[in-house]
Amino acid sequence: MEKWPITLTAVKKTKPSADRLGFGKYFTDHMLLMDYSAGQGWHDPRIVPYGPISLDPSAMVFHYGQEVFEGMKAYRTPQGELVLFRPDMNLRRLNQSCSRIGIPQVDPEEVLEGICRLLLLEEEWMPEGEGNSMYIRPFIIATEAGLGVRAAQEYRLIVILSPVGAYYPEGIHPVRIYVEDRYVRAVRGGTGEAKTSGNYAAGIKAQEDVKSQGYSQVLWLDGIEKRYIEEVGSMNVFFKIDGKVVTPELNGSILAGVTRDSVLRLLREWGVSVNERRISVEELFEAHREGRLEEAFGTGTAAVISPIGSMTWEGRDIVIAGGETGELSAKLYDTLTGIQRGEREDSFGWRYPVH
């Protein structure tokens, strides 16, 4: 039996030109679905035409937010092969998020196989052009109808694909960051380490407030003392101080990024000293005052490496690396994107051929 039966769309959409893709604006012709019910477990995996879904207005996701998601990219190598970057990490994290939000886990191999099927079906949507890729958004929602507060008994997994442009169409460049001192994103014991919509809902107001003042992201501090650095926007964050690299340790309220893990492994391979530990914002500003803060950057699938050019905290502004992209940030960006796109040797075995 065909594991992921395909229903083809009757009408194919017009594809956008590769130079105006942006991020998450266009979606391909098909999507992947799979349903869960308490009696049957996960069942009915299928690929169908992309389009609206119909849910009861009382579907539990609308009221209590039981949702988890993932974000990954597919690239085309110079040899023409379609590849994913460490998809096993994303699927493992999807199940960890499910576990925290009370959603039944999926079979990671089955879902990865479905994603490969969908990617191959939509191969003509794979955008040409330097830096472009196919963004993959798997997510799971509670679909059971009813307003009782408990774990739902019915869910749907959906995977949609979006051809996306280069994050930095004009080349990698540093961003302005505001250290958020009023709102918090997550607390220990909360859901910060799960990739779930509620964490984003909690962070949107802070981001909107500072965006109007010209900042591109907020830097999140811990939810208890508002002292220790957690993440930047929806990225993990790294600092180079005195030639050594530090990043906040995974403490329960930080999302364990695949890019974060890849950066740590590359740095260790290169013999750079790296430490996962608590970092206070005072320590950072003091290191800057003493001229020891050399670089700062965020890491995540969308941007890969996002250099931080300046930071504002309690009315104080600091400029990092002269507001330019630091040497290590640039090297990490080139190496990681090179591996992802199949332009560099993959000594860690991170590329996964879509088949």
What residues line the site for ligand PLP (CB under 6 A)? Answer: 71, 195, 231, 234-236, 255, 257-260, 299-301
Least distance between ligand PLP and beta carbon 167 (Å): 12
Q: Of 213, 161, 208, which is closest to residue 32 (Cα–Cα)? A: 161
H/E run at residue 214:
none
CB 237 within 8 A of CB 231: yes
Minimum Å gap between C-beta 18 and ligand PLP is 23
Task: Select 299 or 335, whichever has its Cβ closest to ligand PLP.
Answer: 299
Per the structure block, which two tokens stand in for 259? Answer: 């890019």
CB closer to ligand PLP out of 45 and 138: 138
Residue 14 DSSP label = P
CB of 103 to ligand PLP, least distance (A): 16
Considering beta carbons, is residue 121 or 194 the nearer one to ligand PLP? 194
Are 154 and 37 spatial neighbours (Cβ–Cβ below 8 Å)? yes
CB of 70 vs ligand PLP, minimal distance in Å? 8
Contact predicate 281/288, CB 8 Å:
no
For 156-188, b/e burial (b = at least 16 CB within 10 A) is: bbebbbbbbbbbbeeebebbbbbbbeebbbbee
As beta bridge partners, residue 311 has 177, 318
Q: Which helix (H) or strand (E) holds 254?
A: none
Minimum CB separation of residue 256 from ligand PLP in Å reads 8
For 109, counting Cβ atoms within 10 Å of its Cβ (0-12 exposed, 13-18 middle, 19+ buried), the class is exposed
Instruction: Report which of 236, 232, 216 is spatially closest to residue 173, judged by C-alpha positions.
Output: 216
Cα(36)–Cα(33) distance, integer angstroms: 10
For residue 188, what are the contacts with CB-CB under 8 A and spacing of at least 6?
222, 223, 224, 251, 252, 253
Least distance in angstroms from the C-beta of 336 to ligand PLP? 10
Structure tokens at 88: 């096993």
With respect to ligand PLP, which residue has the nearer C-beta, 143 or 340? Answer: 340
Q: Toward ligand PLP, which CB reaches closer, 174 or 248?
A: 248
CB of 3 to ligand PLP, least distance (A): 27
Please say which residue, 144 or 180, places its beta carbon nearer to ligand PLP.
Answer: 180
Using Cβ positions, the residue closest to ligand PLP within the complex turns out to be 257
Q: Which is nearer to ligand PLP, 65 or 71 (CB)?
A: 71
Q: How far is the CB of 234 from ligand PLP (least distance, A)?
A: 4
Q: Which is nearer to ligand PLP, 248 or 309 (CB)?
A: 248
